[in-house]
Amino acid sequence: MGIETVELIDILDNKLSREDRYNISLNLRKWLVLNPDKIIGLDISAGMLEVGKKKITERKLDSKIQMVLGDSENIPYPDNYFDCVTVAFGLRNMTHKNRALKEMHRVTRRGGRLIVLEFSKVWKPLERIYELYSFKLIPRIGKLIAKDEGSYRYLAESIRMHPGQKELAKMCRDAGFENTAIRFGTAARGQ
């Protein structure tokens, strides 16, 4: 059974077999994964763009991903241009976040999505332990491994200055985005 042929009422009434429910969840998953024809990566730093370009070439993705030098506070693309705009660990570094969010809204087509991946505030009872971790431990690890204490101290400081979850959701709404949702999670990254 294809998902198109399923009535919502059947799902709600629990009339479907286990196999049908499994197929539906697989289809929904496919629909939720973006598979864009074209990706444009924008960064204000020429050096960072070069790092990105190298990785793109290594992965043979040059025909799909284009890297562009530009400022998120003044995005060099027309209104409603993108289906989805996403920023990972970058909003925190932007000087005028409200202006950047407004620009992201302007270039996202109606019905499109903004996905922001960012550090945020921790649960209140864990605040003290997190402060110790981010201001004492992380810079020391940075000094030891990357020989760069300052950048890791800046990282902790910039996270502290970044708006909390509710404030950020409000900033997104003020920029024009609807249906804002916050998800908590952990992020791990490879090279």
Ligand X SMILES: C[S@@+](CC[C@H](N)C(=O)[O-])C[C@H]1O[C@@H](n2cnc3c(N)ncnc32)[C@H](O)[C@@H]1O
Spell out, one character per residue from 85 to 104, where the chain touches ligand X: x when CB under 6 A holds, - when not. Answer: ---xxx--xx----------
Count of residues that bind ligand X according to CB under 6 A: 13
The residue written with tokens 């763009």 in the block is 49
From 67, 72, 156, 159, residue interacting with ligand X (rule: CB under 6 A)? 72
Q: Which of the residues 149 through 188 are near ligand X (CB under 6 A)?
A: none
For every residue of the chain, DSSP letters joined together read --GGG--HHHHHTT-S-HHHHHHHHHHHHHHHS---S-EEEEES-HHHHHHHHHHHHHTT-TTTEEEEE-BTTB-SS-TT-EEEEEEES-GGG-S-HHHHHHHHHHHEEEEEEEEEE---PPPGGGHHHHHHIIIIIHHHHIIIIIS-HHHHHHHHHHHHHS--HHHHHHHHHHTT--S------------
Which among 15-23, 65-73, 138-146, 169-177 is the span making contact with ligand X, rule CB under 6 A? 65-73
**Residue 88 C-beta: closest distance to ligand X, Å:** 4
Which residue, 34 or 88, is less far from ligand X as judged by CB?
88
Spell out, one character per residue from 16 to 55, where the chain touches ligand X: x when CB under 6 A holds, - when not. Answer: --------------------------xxxx--x-------
What's the maximum distance between 2 C-alpha atoms anywhere in the chain?
61
**Residue 91 C-beta: closest distance to ligand X, Å:** 8
Please report whether residue 71 would count as binding ligand X according to CB under 6 A.
yes
**Residue 27 C-beta: closest distance to ligand X, Å:** 30
- Residues in contact with ligand X by CB under 6 A are 42-45, 48, 71-73, 88-90, 93-94
